[in-house]
Amino acid sequence: MTLRELIQDLSPLHMEGNSDCNVNAVCIDSRQVKKGDVFIALRGTQADGHLYVDKAIAAGASAVVVESMPDKFVAGVCYVQLTNTSSAAGLMSSRLQGNPSTKMRIVGVTGTNGKTTIATLLYRCFKQRGYKVGLLSTVCNYIDEEIIPSTHTTPNAVALQALLARMKTVGCSHVFMEVSSHAVDQQRIAGIDFDGAIFTNLTRDHLDYHETMQKYIEAKKGFFDNLKPEAFALVNVDDKRGAVMLQNCAARHYCYALKQDADYRAKVIALYPDATDVVIDGQEITLRLVGDFNVYNALAVYAASRLLGMSREEAATSLSALEPVSGRFQTISSHRGYTAVVDYAHTPDALVNVLSTLRTLMQGKGQLICVVGAGGDRDRGKRPVMAREAASLSDRLILTSDNPRSEKPEDIIEEMKQGLDSDSLARTLSILDRAEAIRTACMLAQPSDFVLVAGKGHETYQEIDGKRNHFDDREVLREFMDNQ
């Protein structure tokens, strides 16, 4: 395909050179450029792609897409100037790949909590019904049965379009994907023809990037603002931001709720340590998921399945067979009579949801011990809030290291402790070594107690000083329990 064909809908401000050159691939990383590729210079949070234009040309780029033209031009290279290059990567990659998203039904899930569970359960739900399905999630990507390791909640635009193209090639009819606020803000999802969007909830997170809650909300809303009229917009109206997402949204509007009237509504009948009995759409269903927050997730899956053409009976049957997602309220029982729960809860709201569910399950019996930390190089304002919420719902609190990244874990813990009063501090231990913190919690646990290990969930690494070292909360728990 020629460069002229790739950029025909991008409205260039200026162009220098021959746009009839053939393009082999679209690149946003100068280190990956090969002869005949086009390099798009993106202004990122860590680096400015314009600083690497010369390297891309030296590597063989036949064209570059920029926001600001260089002082000098290299012969044989076509320069395309755009007002903003952010969307170009997705739009050009999509066109070069044959616009794969138009050949499949694509549903995106956004919100602070619940994205992974909903996207994964939708993938499993449709696999059960015999469809070939794709999944793009924080835990793992799937091209039908093929597993592709995940590095981001939403991949970069070029990688995303390549994955969609492979899904189309193997015959996937549906794709379910997480849509992060970063991906919307950075226009990584440009060029994707969404057939549906799901909003879960919105609470404090990622303010290290968005700076304010308003900007965070606007990023989420931007996803809904760009939906086509034929698509569906499904929102949780028990969250006050649900109605905000639908404002000026051209898609068909639908809502789900537990606490008020909605197009799709669920009622919790009974809660068990490994299941929840609910009524959804007049049908009694036993979910293999625990807690109200998971009922919201299951309800979104049911609603989306119905909107994508499943019958009431098919959707209900599929829902009742679904297993929990790895690292999401994952239980591990000790022969000594206590139960550990591993969960990805890394925001104040998610932590409250999990701890409240455990409190309900305990029915006043035993103690609840919480092991939690906070990620480095991320929203520092939520650290004291997380500690305060954890302490308010736990009998014992152990603050420890999460993924400290470039920060000192002891500094992160000190910031968390700022949210604790004297009574809470008296019930709190600070243990830097996460494995030791988990082992200590297990040693403290007695029969009927629950130990929550929060923050990392499915992750199999701990990121320290730019290096990812193998670490799995579940492995640490099982090893200790086996030898206890």
Q: Does 357 appear as a known binding residue?
A: no
Give 257-260's long-range contacts (Cβ < 8 A, gap of 24+).
Answer: 258/292, 258/295, 258/296, 258/299
Cα 178 to chain center, whole Å? 5
Q: Does 43 appear as a known binding residue?
A: no
Q: Determine the pLDDT at residue 138.
A: 87
Q: Does 383 appear as a known binding residue?
A: no
Q: Does 116 appear as a known binding residue?
A: yes
Q: Does 154 appear as a known binding residue?
A: yes
- In this prediction, residue 207 has a pLDDT band, given cuts at 50, 70 and 90, of low
Q: Does 114 appear as a known binding residue?
A: yes
Average of per-residue pLDDT across 452-470? 96
pLDDT for 36 beyond 80: yes
Query: 3-class SS at 335?
Result: coil
pLDDT for 44 beyond 90: no
Fold classified for 3-96? 3.40.1390
One-letter amino acid for residue 76 of the chain: G
Residue-range domain boundaries for the chain: 3-96, 99-321, 330-483
Average of per-residue pLDDT across 13-26? 95
Query: 3-class SS at 162?
Result: helix
Residue range 373-384, pLDDT digits in tens: 999 999 999 999
Q: Does 404 appear as a known binding residue?
A: yes
pLDDT for 478 beyond 80: yes
pLDDT for 222 beyond 90: yes
Find the helix or strand (DSSP H, E) in which 474 lies: helix 473-483
* Rg for the chain, CA atoms, rounded: 24
Q: Does 30 appear as a known binding residue?
A: yes
Identify whether the C-beta of residue 229 lies closer than 8 Å to the C-beta of residue 204. Answer: no
Residue range 126-145, pLDDT digits in tens: 999 999 999 999 889 999 99
Q: Determine the pLDDT at residue 306.
A: 98
Q: Determine the pLDDT at residue 85.
A: 95
Q: Determine the pLDDT at residue 139.
A: 87
In a 10 Å sphere around its CB, with 0-12 CB exposed, 13-18 middle and 19+ buried, how is residue 452 labelled? buried
DSSP assignments along 411-435, one per residue? HHHHHHHTT--HHHHHTEEE-SSHH
Q: 3-state secondary structure string, 133-157?
A: EEEECCCEEEECCEEEECCCCCCCH
Judge if 99-321 and 330-483 fold alike in CATH terms.
no
Q: Does 117 appear as a known binding residue?
A: yes
Average of per-residue pLDDT across 361-365? 93
DSSP annotation of 216: H
Q: 330-483, superfamily in CATH?
A: Mur ligase, C-terminal domain (3.90.190.20)
Supply angle C-alpha 108, 239, 331, rounded to 5: 70
Q: Does 111 appear as a known binding residue?
A: yes
Q: Does 186 appear as a known binding residue?
A: yes
Identify whether the C-beta of residue 97 lies closer than 8 Å to the C-beta of residue 112. Answer: no
Q: Does 284 appear as a known binding residue?
A: no
Residue range 261-305, pLDDT digits in tens: 999 999 999 999 899 999 999 999 999 999 999 999 999 999 999
Q: How far is CA 210 from CA 141, 256, 353, in A?
A: 26, 27, 24
Q: Does 455 appear as a known binding residue?
A: yes
Q: Determine the pLDDT at residue 267.
A: 97
Q: Phi first, then psi: what are they for 450, rounded to 5°?
A: -120, 140
Q: Give the Cα separation of 355 and 353 in Å (integer).
A: 6
From 426, 359, 437, select the one nearest 399 (Cα to Cα).
437
Give the right CATH number for 99-321 from 3.40.1190.10, 3.40.50.720, 3.10.530.10, 3.40.50.2000: 3.40.1190.10
Query: 3-class SS at 389?
Result: helix
Residue range 430-459, pLDDT digits in tens: 999 999 999 999 999 999 999 999 999 999
Q: Does 191 appear as a known binding residue?
A: no
Q: Determine the pLDDT at residue 204.
A: 59
Average of per-residue pLDDT across 224-235? 97
Q: Give the Cα separation of 121 and 111 in Å (integer).
A: 16
Cα 416 to chain center, whole Å? 24
Q: Determine the pLDDT at residue 25.
A: 97
State the Cα torsion 302-196-186-37 to the nearest 10°. Answer: 120
Average of per-residue pLDDT across 31-43? 96
Q: Determine the pLDDT at residue 206.
A: 65
Mean pLDDT estimate for the chain:
95
Query: 3-class SS at 227?
Result: coil
Q: Does 421 appear as a known binding residue?
A: no
Q: Determine the pLDDT at residue 343.
A: 96
Give 25-30's long-range contacts (Cβ < 8 A, gap of 24+).
Answer: 25/96, 26/89, 26/92, 26/93, 26/96, 26/158, 27/56, 27/61, 27/158, 28/89, 28/156, 28/157, 28/158, 30/55, 30/56, 30/59
Q: How far is CA 140 from CA 56, 119, 306, 441, in A?
A: 31, 11, 25, 29
